[in-house]
Amino acid sequence: MIQLIFIGTLGLIWMHFSSLRYLFRLRLLKKSNELFEDEQDPARVRKEADSTTSKTAITTTAIIGLLETLYYALCAVLFIKNQIIFYISTLLASNSIVNLIDFLMRAKFIIKSPTKYLIEEIRGFKWYSKIAMTAAELIFCLGILYAAYALS
């Protein structure tokens, strides 16, 4: 079971670094206005909505959110004697569940207009909270690696 935690933790660390890189890239695109150029072009929006790429990306994001939630739940169960890890993993699991529900509730909007969804994701408080949560999840994953190494 510890090997599963090692593999899952390394995978999650990779996902979070990729997520941070993606968020910063989106922010740079916003600043250079490349993301806003064709925002109102109806033909482009329709093409994006009909493309299988946007549907695949949405499905992939939902699956990753589900895997992330399961990982935090597994950490809560495996490290139940370590109260710090238990409470933090429970908090992160509940945050993942809330984000997953929010994402699934907005799936129709995301399929219809992926560009508008991305623009909403990089504005104001939501962007800063995503950065903070991703950083907290990275620190948690490093703590899990240390705790799993100590158990083995």
53 vs 16: CA distance, rounded Å: 21
pLDDT in tens for each of the 152 residues of the chain? 778 888 888 988 888 888 777 777 777 766 666 555 555 555 555 555 445 555 676 777 778 888 889 999 988 898 888 899 999 999 999 989 998 898 888 888 877 777 777 777 777 788 888 888 888 888 999 999 888 888 87
Q: What is the pLDDT of residue 129?
A: 85
**Helices (H) and strands (E) in the chain — how many of each?**
7, 0
Long-range contacts made by residues 63-68, C-beta under 8 angstroms, separation at least 24? 64/15, 65/96, 65/99, 65/100, 65/103, 66/100, 68/12, 68/15, 68/96
| Extents of the domains making up the chain | 2-27+53-151
Q: What is the pLDDT of residue 37?
A: 54
**Tokens, residue 104:** 């699934």
Q: Radius of gyration (Cα) for the chain, nearest Å?
A: 18
35 vs 29: CA distance, rounded Å: 6
CA 120 to chain centre: 15
Tell me the whole-structure pTM to 2 decimals.
0.74
Q: What is the pLDDT of residue 35?
A: 52
